[in-house]
Amino acid sequence: MRPAFAHEAVVDLDGDSDPDAPGAAITARLCGSIDHAGQCPLAPHNIHWAGDGRAISVRIVFVTEPGQERTIRGLIRDALQSGHFVSPDGRASSWRLVKDNRGALRAEEQSLATRLAATE
């Protein structure tokens, strides 16, 4: 079973941008599309955001081979640094990456990690 990892970020949304957009950008980068069948074959993941207004926290829990952790984190960072995403309905959203870093898997995320790893 592949181990689970966490990644954390803070983004500053522009105007009326969709707070789901940074997560959608991450999914698109990891999976090639936000609309795909089943779990992401590269790194099954879950994205949660919190906050209101412009600054939001984004937390990504993912599973991958230990040797791929750095690559997956790089893809996540690239998606966040891109600062934009256009949803399938044409809504454009933009943001600025304030910070991102490696996170520690939380106790309450263990069952999520187990479910993600079970998709192998």
Break the chain into its structural domains and give their ranges.
4-117
Q: Give pTM, 2 decimals.
A: 0.93
Nearest Cα to Cα of residue 12 among 111, 95, 68, 78:
95
Report pLDDT digits (tens) over 45-91.
999 999 987 999 999 999 999 999 999 999 999 999 999 999 999 99
Topology adopted by domain 4-117: Alpha-Beta Plaits (3.30.70)
Q: What is the residue whose two structure tokens read 């906050």? A: 51
**What is the rounded distance in angstroms from the CA atom of residue 14 to the CA atom of residue 71?**
28
Report pLDDT digits (tens) over 3-33.
999 999 999 999 999 999 999 999 999 998 8
